[in-house]
């Protein structure tokens, strides 16, 4: 296993920080820094040295905007290119990818590299989980959201017509390379969507991190503090995942990472995934969860306002742009309930920096939170 800090003095990496996801035999390092090319090249040449084949999965947008990086590391490597966008994270492309790699006779020693946002990461992870009953894969996330969320924790999968991420597997990567230089081509709306998940991490588990985010000027891809912020956010997720890898805890556990997501997923579904980016829907969902927490007597009005202020700093929506009927949102959330054997668990804030799950919240509180968030 490569430990990034050992290389720091020899390589031109600024701010390199590594952490480990502790999952016994499936533990792996996450490297965060600007310019991880040498470290990545080392992993690739390490694979080749032991006669492992390597393969790349990326998308057509990255192929265009990160051409130089792909050429530098993956020239001549068998590459499956997914059309970009959520709708392409599907079974049809999954089969195409399997056929493509099998057609090239790639064997079980293949290491698949996922280079892209959460769509590519989830898709490639699932392709790797199933190919030859499971091959190794490495994540190189390229959106802020995928750096702090989807590349960490091993949830992989594709969408069905019936809903998002309904087919998949837990398949942990061998390593994650979070290179901040990859963010240079990302637009600010996508950057902000990733900030929503970072703010979520502070809210659910670490009030001092939340306060740090409040105190910092608005971050962008060049901000010197960004590596630390990403590292810290990943370490919060790493701790939660290590304690409850497969989300089996009866209360709390990995489900806490869903703060704002029960509402957010319903918002995404009822707007057909077209009006809001995932992080934007989660931003509105977190405000609804905050309002719910206030009604339950956990947090104060001024704390709800602080959450709103921080989200607004990143121009994230804090209420629906166009009203959605409460009934439609409740139906969408009900589908979530079916997935969880009849009980819908809400993640609420006991206080800033401490989330809990509650399965016993009366509908009138939920409706009030939805209305506060702009539903009708
Ligand atoms: N596995 C998990 O635990 C987990 C957690 C959260 C989200 N997700 C999944 O992640 C997905 C969303 O991920 P996302 O927000 O990264 O979206 P995405 O992968 O669709 O990327 C957004 C857009 O940005 C483009 N892009 C990516 N990197 C770029 C770069 N550096 N420069 C320019 N353009 C770039 C992509 O081509 C795409 O068009 C969803 O499918 C969601 O279900 C998974």
- pLDDT tens-digit series, residues 194-243: 999 999 999 999 999 999 999 999 999 999 999 999 999 999 999 999 88
User: Does one domain contain both 33 and 146?
Assistant: yes
Cα 300 from Cα 294, distance rounded (Å): 6
**How many C-beta neighbours within 10 Å does residue 195 have?**
26
Q: What is the mean pLDDT of residues 156-178?
A: 93
Residue 339 has pLDDT above 70, yes or no: no
Q: Is the CB of 89 under 6 A from ligand 1?
A: yes
The domain spanning residue 69 has which CATH number? Answer: 3.40.50.1970
The Å distance, Cα 303 to ligand 1 centre, comes to 30
User: Does one domain contain both 128 and 88?
Assistant: yes
Q: How confident is the model at residue 340 (pLDDT cuts 50, 70, 90)?
A: low
Q: Is the CB of 275 under 6 A from ligand 1?
A: no
Q: How confident is the model at residue 342 (pLDDT cuts 50, 70, 90)?
A: low
Q: How confident is the model at residue 5 (pLDDT cuts 50, 70, 90)?
A: very low
User: Does one domain contain both 205 and 314?
Assistant: yes
Q: Is the CB of 203 under 6 A from ligand 1?
A: no
The domain spanning residue 306 has which CATH number? Answer: 1.20.1090.10
**154, 245 Cβ separation under 8 angstroms:** yes
**Quick check: is 191 in a domain?**
no
Cα 225 from Cα 21, distance rounded (Å): 22
User: Does one domain contain both 154 and 221?
Assistant: no
DSSP one-letter code for 256: G
Residue pointed to by tokens 């609420």: 348
Find the domain containing 225 and state its range. 196-372
Residue 309 has pLDDT above 60, yes or no: yes
Alpha helices in 183-341 (DSSP H): 188-205, 207-215, 226-243, 261-270, 278-295, 301-313, 326-339
**Quick check: is 190 in a domain?**
no
Cα 320 from Cα 373, distance rounded (Å): 6
Q: Is 86 exposed, middle or buried (0-12, 13-18, 19+ CB in 10 A)?
A: middle
**How many C-beta neighbours within 10 Å does residue 222 have?**
10
Q: What are phi and psi of 90, to 5 degrees?
A: -135, 175
Look at residues 153, 185, 217 and tell me which one is the last residue of a structural domain: 185
**Quick check: is 358 in a domain?**
yes
Q: What is the mean pLDDT of residues 345-349?
A: 95
The Å distance, Cα 257 to ligand 1 centre, comes to 17
Task: Give the model's pLDDT for residue 316.
Answer: 98
What sign does the dihedral 132-133-135-139 (CA atoms) show? positive
CA distances for 233 relative to 22, 77, 143, 204, 219, angstroms: 16, 32, 14, 11, 14
**19, 75 Cβ separation under 8 angstroms:** no
Q: For the chain, what is the domain count?
A: 2
Residue 13 has pLDDT above 80, yes or no: no
Q: What is the CA radius of gyration of the chain?
A: 20
Task: Give the model's pLDDT for residue 320.
Answer: 98
Q: What is the mean pLDDT of residues 76-89?
A: 96
What atom of ligand 1 comes closest to residue 61's alpha carbon?
37
Cα 120 from Cα 306, distance rounded (Å): 34
> Can you spell out the DSSP letters for 96-149?
HHHHHHHHTT--TT-EEEEEESHHHHHHHHHHHHHGGG--EEEEEE-SHHIIII
Q: What is the mean pLDDT of residues 247-272?
A: 92
């Amino acid at each position: 296993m490569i430990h990034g800090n050992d290389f720091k003095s020899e390589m031109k990496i600024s701010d390199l920080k590594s952490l480990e996801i502790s999952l016994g035999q499936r533990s792996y390092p996450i490297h965060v820094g600007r310019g991880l090319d040498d470290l990545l090249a080392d992993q690739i040449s390490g694979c080749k040295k032991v006669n492992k084949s390597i393969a790349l999965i990326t998308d057509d947008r990255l192929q265009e905007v990160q051409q130089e990086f792909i050429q530098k590391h993956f020239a001549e490597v068998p590459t499956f290119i997914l059309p970009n966008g959520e709708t392409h994270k599907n079974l049809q492309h999954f089969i195409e990818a399997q056929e493509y790699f099998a057609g090239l006779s790639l064997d079980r020693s293949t290491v698949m590299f996922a280079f892209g946002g959460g769509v590519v990461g989830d898709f490639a992870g699932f392709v790797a989980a199933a190919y030859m009953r499971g091959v190794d894969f490495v994540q190189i996330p390229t959106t802020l959201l995928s750096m702090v969320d989807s590349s960490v924790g091993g949830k992989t999968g594709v969408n069905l017509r019936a809903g998002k991420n309904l087919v998949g597997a837990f398949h942990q990567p061998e390593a994650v390379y979070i290179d901040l230089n990859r963010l240079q081509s990302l637009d600010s709306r996508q950057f902000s969507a990733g900030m929503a998940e970072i703010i979520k991490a502070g809210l659910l588990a670490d009030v001092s991190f939340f306060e740090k985010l409040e105190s910092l000027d608005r971050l962008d891809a060049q901000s010197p503090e960004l590596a630390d912020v990403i590292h810290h956010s990943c370490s919060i997720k790493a701790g939660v995942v290590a304690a409850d890898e497969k989300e089996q805890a009866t209360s709390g556990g990995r489900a806490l990472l869903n703060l704002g997501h029960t509402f957010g997923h319903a918002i995404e579904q009822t707007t057909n995934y077209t009006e809001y980016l995932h992080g934007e829907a989660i931003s509105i969902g977190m405000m609804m969860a905050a309002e719910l927490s206030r009604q339950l007597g956990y947090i104060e009005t001024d704390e709800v306002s602080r959450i709103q202020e921080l989200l607004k700093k990143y121009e994230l929506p804090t209420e629906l742009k166009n009203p959605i009927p409460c009934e439609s949102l409740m139906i969408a959330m009900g589908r979530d309930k079916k997935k969880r054997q009849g009980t819908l668990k809400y993640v609420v804030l006991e206080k800033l920096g401490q989330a809990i799950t509650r399965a016993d919240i009366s509908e009138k509180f939920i409706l009030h939170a939805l209305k506060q968030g702009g539903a009708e």
